[in-house]
């Protein structure tokens, strides 16, 4: 048990500066990761730097530092957030990742590097084993990536804590300027991230050489091969990230924006899944349908307003009165031998209707 509080469990990983264990915090009753440093007092300056670096960083895509014991008496250790998930290296052992998954990881790591670089820090050791993957609770995302292990991180423009001229970092992800011995700068992290993304998309390292001497020569003379299968958008971004000239590489924030554009461009129109059971299959035989005869047009009588109904009632009453008068006159004329008078001229069609009535009652 460390510090009377942390009970060490299985070993999670091992690096040049120490060993990382899963442990239990007996005081807070939570699982943590404990990094126990190896080496004597000569390493105290470097380990103290890592403590200060981690303590000053706070970002969802960076491992959080909880506690530290960096006294003169061994063991010296850090207590950090435990990420319950595999490393990127373990995930890549099963094969490459989808472009959308790689985009999400590039967003996480790009955001983390932006925070790191803004704090004046260069990580200098971007590689699959230093990327931890936590299962995502967001629909459509496989995991969230976290950047870990700042053991060889370097403060920008500070005095070097390592031996002058020493090449620091994993050989497979070294940048040309690291090989040439130039001072650390954020562009070196961008180069390493570019190589990492190529490996995620293709399932193999951009540079197959693993030996340090071979890696040094190749890095200064060759560019990584980016397969056309990754697509034009990814090809253009990765080419910029792995340019041998550090000044031509994008910043971490520009990488995040470029990845967001790639995800937006790759997103097609939203489709709606249709249950096959509700779709009627086309009939196997041709059905002949009888033509539908056009129906007789229906003419609707317009509704009569109050004024029109009053006018028609007045005309009907007038016609009845005239018929009665004409009938009386004709009756009397028949008895007196008087010729029935003719109708006065009225407007048509009323004159014709009255004439027909008069003819009908005339003896």
Report the candidate in 174, 200, 207, 186 with the shortest Cα–Cα distance to residue 255.
186
Return the bridge partners of 77, or none: 36, 69
Catalogue the E-assigned strands of 5-44.
Answer: 6-14, 18-25, 30-37
3-state secondary structure of 70: coil
Count Cβ atoms below 10 Å from residue 33 Cβ, excluding itself: 21
Is 240 labelled a binding residue? no
Q: Enumerate residues 6+ apart whose C-beta is below 8 A from 128.
A: 87, 88, 89, 92, 196, 199
ω before 349 within 30° of 0 (cis)?
yes
Count Cβ atoms below 10 Å from residue 156 Cβ, excluding itself: 13
125 an active-site residue? yes
> Is 241:200 a contact under the CB 8 Å cutoff?
no
DSSP state of 47: H
How far is residue 276's CA from residue 273's CA, in Å, rounded to a whole number?
9
Q: Which of 125, 149, 189, 243 is catalytic?
A: 125
Sort strands 65-69 and 77-81 into parallel, antiparallel or unpaired.
Answer: antiparallel
Q: CA 340 → CA 361, 362, 363, distances in Å?
A: 11, 8, 10
Where residue 237 falls (left for φ over 0; alpha for ψ -120 to 50; beta otherwise) is alpha
> Residue ranges for the binding site?
35
List, by residue number, the catalytic residues: 125
> Residue ranges for the binding site for ATP?
35
């Amino acid at each position: 048990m460390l510090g009377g509080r942390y009970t060490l469990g299985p070993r999670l990983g091992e690096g040049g500066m120490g060993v990382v264990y899963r442990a239990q915090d007996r005081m807070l009753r939570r699982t943590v990761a404990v990094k126990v440093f190896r080496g004597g007092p000569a390493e105290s300056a470097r380990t103290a730097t890592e403590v200060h670096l981690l303590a000053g960083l706070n970002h969802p895509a960076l491992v959080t530092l909880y506690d530290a014991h960096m006294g003169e008496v061994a063991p010296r250790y850090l207590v950090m957030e435990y990420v319950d998930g595999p490393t990127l290296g373990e995930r890549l052992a099963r094969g490459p990742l989808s472009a959308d998954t790689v985009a999400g990881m590039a967003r996480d790591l790009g955001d983390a590097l932006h925070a790191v670089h803004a704090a004046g820090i260069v990580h200098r050791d971007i590689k699959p084993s230093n990327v931890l993957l936590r299962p995502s609770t967001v629909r459509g995302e496989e995991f969230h990536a976290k950047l870990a292990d700042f053991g060889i991180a370097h403060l920008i423009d500070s005095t070097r804590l390592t031996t002058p001229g020493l090449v620091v970092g994993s050989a497979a992800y070294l940048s040309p300027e690291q090989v040439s011995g130039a001072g650390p700068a954020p562009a070196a992290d961008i180069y390493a991230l570019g190589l990492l993304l190529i490996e995620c998309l293709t399932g193999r390292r951009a540079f197959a050489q693993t030996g340090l001497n071979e890696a040094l020569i190749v890095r200064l003379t060759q560019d990584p091969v980016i397969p056309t299968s990754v697509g034009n958008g990814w090809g253009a971004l990765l080419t910029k990230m792995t340019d041998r000239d550090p000044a031509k590489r994008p910043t971490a924030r520009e990488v995040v924006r470029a990845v967001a554009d790639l995800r937006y461009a790759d997103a097609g129109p939203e489709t709606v899944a249709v249950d096959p059971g509700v779709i009627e299959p086309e009939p196997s035989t041709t059905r002949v349908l009888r033509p539908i005869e056009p129906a007789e047009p229906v003419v609707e009588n317009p509704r009569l307003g109050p004024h029109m109904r009053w006018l028609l009632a007045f005309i009907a009453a007038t016609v009845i009165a005239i018929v009665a008068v004409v009938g009386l006159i004709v009756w009397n004329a028949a008895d007196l031998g008087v010729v029935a008078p003719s109708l006065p001229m009225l407007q048509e069609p009323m004159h014709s209707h009255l004439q027909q009535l008069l003819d009908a009652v005339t003896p």
